[in-house]
């Protein structure tokens, strides 16, 4: 479906307005197969800004796959004819979410290349995966 991206929550989540004029519906989309740093985490804001540079106020092709535990639509997203999950991983702005990436074999080599070249979050000595950050953040409450 074709939509207009109206908000970027973080490096792997956006909001799009989909449907015909006068019959729009908002769709919160979690980009498939990647996990970006949380906004308060190192590189979180840069990851969000990179996604915004790709998609904000742009038409997006959204292919829904399923829903996540938070009710977001998990989808494959293209903005400006760019594969968004691959672009985020290539730029070092997201990890490959290996548990959910079996249909995206192109992502692992992109992550390895970003690591080797020290792009984005891989410029840090010991980048903390977002799932570890979330676990520690919840534990610390």
CA distance 119 to 9: 22
Rounded to whole angstroms, the Cα distance separating 42 from 130 reads: 10
Catalytic residue among 17, 25, 30, 45: 30
Nearest-CA neighbor of 32 among 79, 73, 87?
Answer: 73
As a whole number of angstroms, the distance between CA 75 and CA 4 comes to 15
115 carries an active-site annotation: no
Contact present, 122 and 114 (Cβ < 8 Å): yes
Q: Which long-range contacts (CB under 8 A, 24 or more apart) does 109-118 make?
A: 110/86, 114/89, 114/90, 117/92, 118/92
Asked if 132 is an active-site residue, the reply is no
38: annotated active-site residue: yes
Residue from 72, 78, 90, 111 carrying the catalytic annotation: 72
Residues annotated as catalytic (active site), given as ranges: 30, 38, 72
């Amino acid at each position: 479906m074709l939509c207009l991206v109206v908000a970027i929550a973080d490096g792997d989540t956006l909001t799009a307005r989909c449907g015909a004029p006068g019959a729009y519906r908002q769709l919160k989309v979690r980009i498939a197969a990647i996990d970006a740093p949380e906004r308060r985490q190192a590189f979180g804001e840069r990851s969000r800004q990179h996604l915004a540079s790709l998609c904000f106020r742009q038409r997006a092709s959204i292919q829904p796959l399923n829903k996540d535990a938070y009710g977001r639509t998990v989808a494959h997203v293209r903005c400006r004819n760019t594969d968004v999950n691959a672009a985020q991983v290539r730029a070092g702005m997201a990890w490959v979410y290996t548990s959910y990436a079996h249909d995206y074999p192109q992502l692992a080599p992109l992550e390895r290349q970003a690591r080797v070249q020290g792009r984005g979050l891989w410029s840090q000595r010991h980048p903390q995966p977002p799932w570890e950050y979330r676990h520690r953040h919840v534990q610390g409450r």
